[in-house]
Structure 1
Amino acid sequence: MDEERGFREKFIQFPSSFGLEVQELSQSKYLVSHRKTLTIKCETDEFETTTEWIRIYNLLSFLHWNEDDKDNAYKYNRKALEKESIVALCNRVWMLRTDGHLTEADEELTEVEKLAASRNELLIQGKAEIAYSYSFFGPRYFSQSIQLYNQLLTEVVDKKDINQKQVMLWKLDLGIVYRKFCNPGNLLSKQDWRERNMDDCIEKAALLFHEVVNSDSPDRWKGQCFASLAELAFSVFTEIHGTKSQKELFPKEIAKTTVDTFLDLALAACDNDSHVLKVCGKLFKYFNKLDKAEEVLRKSLSIMETAYGHHHLALVLKKKLMKRILEARHRGRNGIDRNSTDRSQSQRPLIKSFKKEAAKAFIHVVYIPAYERDAVEEIMTHLDKAIESGNEWASFDKGLMFRHIKDHKKAFKTFLETLEMKDLRTAATVTVACYEHLGACSRDIAKVERDPENKRQLEADAIRYFQKAVVTSACNASQELHYLRDGWMAYPTLKDMLLPQKRDVAQLKILSELSKLLGKYGETLDFYKQIIELDDTQLNDPAIIRGQIQILIKEGHFEQAAVLLDLQSCTEGKYKISEEFYKTIYLKCAFHLLSTDKKEDSGQRFRQAFDVGYADKPKVKPYFDIFFLFDEENEKPESQEHASALANKLTEILGGISGLSITSNSESLLPGSNKLASQTKQMNSSSNIILILDTNEELQGQLNYFIQIAKHIDIEKNSKLCLITIDGCTCPLELTAFLRVDFETILMHCQDDFIRWAQGFLYRLLDVTNSEE
């Protein structure tokens, strides 16, 4: 066991694919697909530098090992070792040891140590390779990749012996990760969205790409940079993400360069790179240059078949098909002949009409006539090839194609299969889209169902799937993106399905909860009103009361929320709402009133927050709300000043402004049974006892006294004990079980900062959370 621990301690010092902190590898179709793509890249001699070959060989070796294909794992490991790679050597150590060749593994590890000591540049290259590997494993690992690349580039900034061509490759890689990082399709959660500064990602990516195109880098790298700049410019132009303009985000030399120009530059730099062609084809599709998009994507697939290429070619072919269908309908309605000179004038409204119909495709899909069967088959073929590689969006689009040809049962089955394809990179948007279309399919099937019972069940299923779509969209990053938030159709469809029927409390409650999740608070309050009109007993429903109060708080109507809670506290429904909820709302209201200089009113709300749980028990109601305890005769004058100042300031804020009853110790604290008894007797009249620790372990006498106080109070009375530690003061082990809040003395110098700290302190003291909910 000790020998194994010793090996691991040595091994983790060096870069290895087997040291990557990634999960779910064995179940990942996404990685199997990319492993196949990497193999094809190796066969097509796509790489120009040794660094690129090494990292691909090492990744292939690692992925084959993960698939239990040891022969190929060792094969690609040997290829990487031929080009001198510390990662390859570390990987070999791991594989040998796992296979039971312990002696050989230990010998190889000794070689790794020697190599790392003598060839620092190999160690740096190894770190870069690990950063690249993290970017390969999907959105969950982009942060690790960015962090490692930035550390690496900072480390080599002054190293003249580092190959600058390699540095440019790392900058290209980092730029690509930043571009992926700010792609909404790669967002995994609301928190993910909130933690990302999209403008910052775009700005950094654009600067890195600009550096590479102005360096002595291979044309293929420059082509990839121009293609990536086109993607970024398109996202800024369409406001997909970020809040600033291209002029603000891009280097001034390219601040006014259009997407079209970037695409031309990309193809001029390198028109035989599959990645460059894929990106250009996708963007040509977005700009409705469908013939050019098809040409470029077919060329990309002729060089190397990829799921990405097949998927986007399928979408281009579908878009051309839909355009033909809509043009035919338009001609039929308006009598415009295919060869008519007026046809060009009708193009703009046709495209506009197409976009409108496409947006409504969720419920009202454009049905494809039978004579377009060949076109449909080609689209399906490309989608199937993309799906083979685990592309869940291709699977979703296949389900949508089944809806277009009125095969609703196959569509339903395909959307279910798509939901089962969740993988390392799966974003919540595909889940929402699938739930929406499962609901739509259920409705489509219900329309032709003759059995009344089956019909009712299908309609109920539709409602259930639409509900899932709304909840999923509300709880993930798509709700933060206006173009996605406004595009989801499940909620308006649910309203259409439920409201025309006889108004029912259960249905209105569903809509009230969903509208609240989506932030449609006006609608939520209206639904609450309708619920109460139908059944006045709902006035005492805790869910409705909480919902109304939460909305008033979110909308900034703090006093109205508190008044509504006051009314509730006078009814029999009082005990249906938690004490935590009462405390939270009263505190929110109190601090809001304090910020608007309504000190008297804020004091009333503070008083209510502290009285929750005591109002019906006057005999045990505390005389003091808060009792401060600190050492006024500390040997260090500055500590005495800090502790006294903090106690006085807290007394001023929490007592003078809030109206709470507060007492503060003013006597010297020395251990002794008589002093302990008198002091604790007084403190037992308080509900909250706060020990201010501004000392160190050497002052054992004071700490012993605090510890005795804590033990005595814990036994004698159910008071709450809280510790405030000043400037990172060491907390004695015996007190670590109690609530602890840190305080920095610098906060003394700014009243606003101090009040914010006091606000957070009170929330913790009363065991409530200052959350949005």
Structure 2
Amino acid sequence: MSTDRKSLEKALKNFPSSFKTIKDFLSLSKKYLELKLEVLQQELKEQETDKENTWTRMEKCRAYNLLSFLCYLVGNIEDALKYNKESLNVYPENAYPDNVIGLCNRGWFLLITEQKFKEIKNMCQRLDELKTDKTSMAIAKADIAFAYSRLGIQFYSEASKLYSEAILEAEDIEKNLESNELKENICIWSYGCALAQTRLFRTFNVCNKEDLEQPKEKVERVCKLLKHIISSNIESSSCKLLIPRAYVLLGEIASSIESKEILHVGLIQEVLLEDPELTVDGYYEKALKLQNNDIFVLDRCGMRFKFIHDLDKAIEILKKAIAIKESSINHHHLAVAIKEKVQSIPSRDDAVSVSRQLYEVLPHSDREHQEHSARREISAAARLNIGNKKKRLINSPKKVHKLDLIKNKDEIEEILKHLDKAIEIGMNNDAIYDKGLLLRQIGQLKEAEQVFKTLTRNQHRHTSLVVLANSYEQIGYCLQEAMETDKSDDPENDEEDMKMNFKRSLEISCEIVAKIPQLKDCWETAPTLQSLLEGNATTKEALKDLSFLYEKIRQYDKCIDTLKLLVSKAETNEEQIEYGQQIIQDHLKMERFDDSALSFEIICCLPEWQNLVDAKLFVKVFIESAYDSYEKGDSEVANLRFENAFDFCRSKRTLGQSNTKEMEFSVLVLCNPNDENNGEILVEVLNHLGIKSSLNIDGVVGFGRLKSDLLGDVVEQSNHVLVIYDFLQPDPIESKELNEFKKNVDIMRNILSDRGHGNVMTIVPNETVLSNIPKTWSRQHAVYNFSDAESETFLNVLSVKDILINLAIGANS
């Protein structure tokens, strides 16, 4: 690479572009990216033939920008350049495009294909001018948010965050600049932000632990965005279409609050708009009244009617939606509605009818009396039905309603047809899961097991935590049922596999319930596994084998008496933890990693566990068990275990503190630009393991790297730091660069010291460098041969295991 090309690359990295997301999007399979590309191409085709042509200029630009980038990701550079040109020519009369993402993307495309360097220089000059244009920069941020929102549920949180930032920036501009186009943009971004966040209110869409908690303030912010859309008087067709959709999203929020049994009348009142008589279903009815031909409105209303078991209405609406435009959602929910009708489920149970009364916040003078009566009426029904309602929310049944394949042949074929179409159109994980349930219901246990396994493999990186826990649990039930009905070809192995899958489900569900205690009774995994294994536990030795399973595991209380059956002589937490750790050490020696990790998950429920457990044992267990899960292909379980290991230091030092920040990165790799290759090797190994990591190189922006003046921010967002140091005898020319690097390391050390948690380790390429490490740096050192990071066929992830264990433990633990 020539010096000139290096300078152009460095310049491009200073501007927003789709390439900022490349690390995230390359984690997706090519097949998944191609599917998303086809969907967006179809939307563009429909828009071009639409006489009303509702898209705004901004919407056209962002669609072309994402299409262009997706073409590049799947290897079609020719179409990438074609769509990029379209994005820059949305307004041909504009001789100086202000489409920041389109300009910067074109610069990258030309640089990658090594052509038109002069044009790249001109683009960089134009981008430098646009850096001071707050409107263009806000649009660029929202453009990236749009890309994240279209690539799957694992990116909803990032999309919502970026949209929120863009809206705040644009609103600040709007105070001083009256612009209809800016008002349109804010309205459209408000909808995009609310849509992404509303999806996260549905627990089974959540892929990241930090997104499980949905505080009241977050719900209120989203409602405020939706109110803004409904009350806006913007004349554009695009914004008018968002009003009925906003009503639907408000209905989803109210429904989500209702289904989670968060009986908070005040919050429902805040959700209500100018029509205080609206019930939860009233939002959907209002949306249908405003717009009964919009596919989004029809799909969501069909889902709602299915949820409340008005199945005939749901089927009617979903069939109408399919006739207008097929979607993964309408095919999926039509299939489920037909199946529920075949099962003869009552159209509306008493619990739903009674609970809805609670949310009818009436405007009459005696409203307070009516609310009190509603609460009194619901109490008896809630006690009887709350468990069943939660089970429906999670939808992981231990026993399934059996369907006669011969008697219901036509209906089952129709259900499978719609499920397969939903999967084909959108790689819909919920549809895949429901297909597994249906196969289990008709007795095709092996086929059902294979369907659930496609979800646990998480090939396309968008299986949510709830679906993951459910899928492991359902595999266990398939194996259990096969053994009970003499359909198992290998009962001995199937029994072990069954237990392993129940353990996987139990571990993940514990993570979910830790964030949402209301869901503690939603899974049958713990009592099922306990009953299976306790039949063999007749001695104290056998009980040791079951230390992770005791009765109160499913209660998830903070003062849980986890090891009661085994440590009956223990009188204190200290003794319980001591005995528990002895069991864990035995499990670790026997390489029973699942048992070790699960036992620690239970110990973590005991009071003051952080101060009583052996930090080295804790970290070693979770990293060893993470590697074990990684090798078995259970990437999500591996990720959870790595996070537990790296978070131990922080949780110990922030004990009793509230609102502690979530860490964006588990590990920050800090290296001098001269060591960029080594840094990239190390980050690649870490990312391949699923460890959230970032590479920070002074003066370089993009691809997860930040400028040195932003070093403080990225260190604050990182749990631990690895410093790569390789300066035996630096040249005088490099001394300035070396001094700057040492300065950055000192800044980093001070940040970690001030906040009180986070470890740092220095990595050197050979023993001879050790003596040159500044004495002010970390006492933790490791010699690492970077050439060992790659084997002949694959990345050598084992090469960093000891480094990770020592880093997570820390020098002072």
1:109 paired with 2:148, answer no
2:806 aligned residue: none
What amino acid sits opposite 1:512 in the alignment?
S
The whole-number CA distance in structure 1 between the counterparts of 2:539 and 2:45 is 64
Structure 2 residue aligned with 1:215, among 225, 228, 232?
Answer: 232
Which runs of no fewer than 5 residues in structure 1 stay unpaired?
Answer: 328-347, 533-537, 566-583, 593-722, 740-763, 769-773
The alpha-carbon distance between structure 1 residues 198 and 507, as it changes in their structure 2 partners (threshold 3 A), is: farther
Instruction: Render the CA deviation track for 1:117-157: whole Å, top value 9, x for unaligned.
Output: 79764444233212222333344444443443333333332
Q: Give 1:251 deviation, angstroms.
A: 6.1
The alpha-carbon distance between structure 1 residues 211 and 510, as it changes in their structure 2 partners (threshold 3 A), is: farther
Q: Give 1:59 deviation, angstroms.
A: 1.0
What amino acid sits opposite 1:237 in the alignment?
E
Q: Give 1:21 deviation, angstroms.
A: 5.1
2:589 aligned residue: none
Q: Give 1:529 deviation, angstroms.
A: 4.1
Instruction: Render the CA deviation track for 1:11-40: whole Å, top value 9, x for unaligned.
Output: 234332223254243515544333222222
1:204 aligned residue: 221
1:526 paired with 2:564, answer yes
Structure 2 residue aligned with 1:125, among 139, 142, 149?
Answer: 139
Match of 2:9, SS?
helix
My pick for the range that moved more, 126-135 or 427-436, is: 126-135
1:6 aligned residue: 7
2:447 aligned residue: 410
The alpha-carbon distance between structure 1 residues 503 and 51, as it changes in their structure 2 partners (threshold 3 A), is: same
What amino acid sits opposite 2:448 in the alignment?
A
1:385 aligned residue: 421
Match of 1:371, SS?
coil
The whole-number CA distance in structure 2 between the counterparts of 1:438 and 1:765 is 39
TM alignment of 1:610-629, pairs within 5 A: none
Match of 2:812, SS?
coil
Q: Give 1:307 deviation, angstroms.
A: 1.7
* TM-score, normalising length: structure 2: 0.60
Match of 1:20, SS?
helix
1:705 aligned residue: none
Matched-pair contact (CA < 8 Å) for 2:40–2:63: yes
The alpha-carbon distance between structure 1 residues 140 and 3, as it changes in their structure 2 partners (threshold 3 A), is: farther
The whole-number CA distance in structure 1 between the counterparts of 2:306 and 2:73 is 37
Q: Give 1:357 deviation, angstroms.
A: 9.8
TM alignment of 1:106-255, pairs within 5 A: 106=120, 109-110=123-124, 112-113=126-127, 116=130, 121-156=135-170, 157=172, 158-162=175-179, 163=181, 164-193=183-212, 196-217=213-234, 218-239=239-260, 245-247=266-268, 249-250=270-271, 253=274
Matched-pair contact (CA < 8 Å) for 2:260–2:390: no
The whole-number CA distance in structure 2 between the counterparts of 1:237 and 1:356 is 11
Indicate the structure whose relative CO is greater, using CA pairs within 8 Å and at least 6 residues apart: 2
Identity %: 25
The alpha-carbon distance between structure 1 residues 99 and 234, as it changes in their structure 2 partners (threshold 3 A), is: same
1:485 paired with 2:520, answer yes
The whole-number CA distance in structure 2 between the counterparts of 1:302 and 1:360 is 29
What amino acid sits opposite 2:306 in the alignment?
K
The whole-number CA distance in structure 2 between the counterparts of 1:148 and 1:356 is 32
Matched-pair contact (CA < 8 Å) for 1:314–1:382: yes
The whole-number CA distance in structure 1 between the counterparts of 2:474 and 2:101 is 46
Q: Give 1:510 deviation, angstroms.
A: 4.5
1:83 paired with 2:120, answer no
Matched-pair contact (CA < 8 Å) for 1:326–1:354: no
Instruction: Render the CA deviation track for 1:265-307: whole Å, top value 9, x for unaligned.
Output: 2112222221222111111111112122122222222232222
Matched-pair contact (CA < 8 Å) for 2:160–2:192: no
The whole-number CA distance in structure 2 between the counterparts of 1:229 and 1:414 is 34
The alpha-carbon distance between structure 1 residues 506 and 252, as it changes in their structure 2 partners (threshold 3 A), is: farther
2:72 aligned residue: 65
1:17 paired with 2:18, answer yes
2:308 aligned residue: 287
1:99 aligned residue: 113
Match of 2:232, SS?
coil
1:509 aligned residue: 544
Bigger Rg, structure 1 or 2: 1
1:310 aligned residue: 331
The whole-number CA distance in structure 1 between the counterparts of 2:240 and 2:306 is 24
Matched-pair contact (CA < 8 Å) for 2:203–2:466: no
What amino acid sits opposite 1:50 in the alignment?
R
The alpha-carbon distance between structure 1 residues 215 and 499, as it changes in their structure 2 partners (threshold 3 A), is: same
2:44 aligned residue: 42
Matched-pair contact (CA < 8 Å) for 2:567–2:579: no
1:644 aligned residue: none
Matched-pair contact (CA < 8 Å) for 1:246–1:255: no
The whole-number CA distance in structure 2 between the counterparts of 1:414 and 1:2 is 52
The whole-number CA distance in structure 1 between the counterparts of 2:754 and 2:217 is 36
1:572 aligned residue: none
Q: Give 1:493 deviation, angstroms.
A: 1.0
2:718 aligned residue: none
Q: Give 1:215 deviation, angstroms.
A: 0.7
The alpha-carbon distance between structure 1 residues 352 and 86, as it changes in their structure 2 partners (threshold 3 A), is: closer
2:726 aligned residue: none
Instruction: Render the CA deviation track for 1:536-571: whole Å, top value 9, x for unaligned.
Output: xx997743599999989955599xx99x99xxxxxx
Structure 1 residue aligned with 2:476, among 439, 451, 459?
Answer: 439
The whole-number CA distance in structure 2 between the counterparts of 1:439 and 1:20 is 37
The alpha-carbon distance between structure 1 residues 139 and 368, as it changes in their structure 2 partners (threshold 3 A), is: closer
Instruction: Render the CA deviation track for 1:356-385: whole Å, top value 9, x for unaligned.
Output: 997997332111122111111111111112
The alpha-carbon distance between structure 1 residues 99 and 242, as it changes in their structure 2 partners (threshold 3 A), is: farther
Matched-pair contact (CA < 8 Å) for 2:227–2:273: no
The alpha-carbon distance between structure 1 residues 36 and 386, as it changes in their structure 2 partners (threshold 3 A), is: same
What amino acid sits opposite 1:132 in the alignment?
F
Q: Give 1:6 deviation, angstroms.
A: 1.9
The whole-number CA distance in structure 2 between the counterparts of 1:310 and 1:434 is 21
1:275 paired with 2:296, answer yes
**Root-mean-square deviation over aligned CA pairs:** 4.5
